[in-house]
Structure 1
Amino acid sequence: MSSAITVRLSSGRSYCSGVLISPDLQAAEHTRTDLVLSCAHFLRGRTGPIKVGRAHVLGAVRIPRTDLAVLRLDAPAPPADLLRLSTSRAPWLAPTRTEGFGGGARHVQQRHGRVIAHLPFALGRNLRTLVTSAAILHNSPKAIKGDSGGPVIVDGEIVAVQALISDPLGYNLGIATVAQVAAHRGKIAAAVEALQRAY
């Protein structure tokens, strides 16, 4: 039986979520991979080792001008049914499923929602996290800290990864900004090739 595609990345006490992907970004049944797609903001300023389960991250490439990053592990993950990275943006009002390890969860949590808007770009409140080709979701349960980097799935394809939550004055509105993959698919493929050459 295949394992889950959503993984937990950890570095010291910090962590985020990510998703296993195939080298050609296509769907692949019961396949082992050493590639993870996640959020770039987790890598900002990080100098210590990053682990995914028992594997360590060998290297990472951040995709310019958006909150996406590809990481390569020193050992492949257990076999999983990998999903295709979508070539289309998430349709308006499409039902979504976001997976992640937010709130310190030991097992993957699912957040169901809908696409309520598209934005050419969005900025985090610290003005350091930029998301281009952003989509806005309304989720229930709400996406929370730690879900960042987890896959957003529509019709069995990865359309985005979780990037930002809206929590003015500490109140989570249930509104999440996600980094769509379709507009950056070529750069993601180039990042995979660069990591495979380097390691």
Structure 2
Amino acid sequence: MSSSTTLRLKSGRSYCSGVLISPDLEAAVHTRTDLVLSCSHFLRGRSGPIFVSGAWFPAKVLGAVRIPRTDIAVLRLDTPSPPKDLLRLSTSPAPFLAPTVTEGFGGGLRRPGQRVGRVIARSPIAVGRNVRTFVTSAAILHNNPKAIKGDSGGPVIVNGEIAAVQSMVTDPLGMNTGIATVAQVAPHRGAIAAAVAALQQAY
């Protein structure tokens, strides 16, 4: 995967990660896009502007649609990206023990870092300790290096496709275990496509 498709989304002092996607959710070579896949929990209660950096073009978020019952959101930018090689959104769940690569800007990185991992379980439902972040059709990963704050919304790549976005880390008593919960895209692909259509009609 080209790391130049992974974005940093910033609002005030808070930030998360995201990834550029094509309007039809398929792979596309050397293609401009103004659509981003990210996590829903970053948008919760947020009213200020959201700016994009990290993919070699400046942009601002025009609007967003949060996918119900999971921690996925689709955002539309005011400026299309330069031509990029975009990855397909997976149509099938991540296989058990499949190797993964998660990209994100956790830790204040200027360029997206890569967290190599493996699928160790799948769960129909996962709930954050704040009982506000909710994921259906979750996959559980063990990552090394560990996913950290700021990686949320970053793409989880399996077999060259976007299989999920990073959602939550498991850190009892503040100790990061290296276990991460990710929101799989395949079960919500229809809702993601509908969100793209709604954003294209609205802006």
TM-score by length of 1: 0.98
**Residue aligning to 1:148:** 152
Q: How does 1:1-199 map to 2 (within 5 A)?
A: 4-53=4-53, 54-199=58-203
| Count of aligned pairs | 198
Which sections of structure 2, spanning at least 5 residues, go unmatched?
none
CA-to-aligned-CA distance 1:157-181 (integer Å, 9 cap, x gap):
0000000000011100000000000
SS of match in other structure, 2:96: coil
Aligned partners of 1:11, 1:191: CA distance in 2, in Å? 22
Aligned partners of 2:173, 2:115: CA distance in 1, in Å? 22
1:3 Cα deviation from its structure 2 partner: 6.7
Q: Percent identity?
A: 78
C-alpha root-mean-square deviation of aligned residues, in Å? 0.8
CA-to-aligned-CA distance 1:97-122 (integer Å, 9 cap, x gap):
00000011111100000000000010
Cα distance change of structure 1 residues 3 and 66 upon mapping to structure 2, 3 Å threshold: closer
1:78 Cα deviation from its structure 2 partner: 1.8
1:77 Cα deviation from its structure 2 partner: 1.3
TM-score by length of 2: 0.96
| Equivalent position amino acid for 2:156 in 1 | V
Aligned partners of 2:121, 2:110: CA distance in 1, in Å? 31
| Equivalent position amino acid for 1:14 in 2 | S
SS of match in other structure, 2:107: helix
SS of match in other structure, 1:187: helix
- Most deviating of 52-61 and 94-103: 52-61
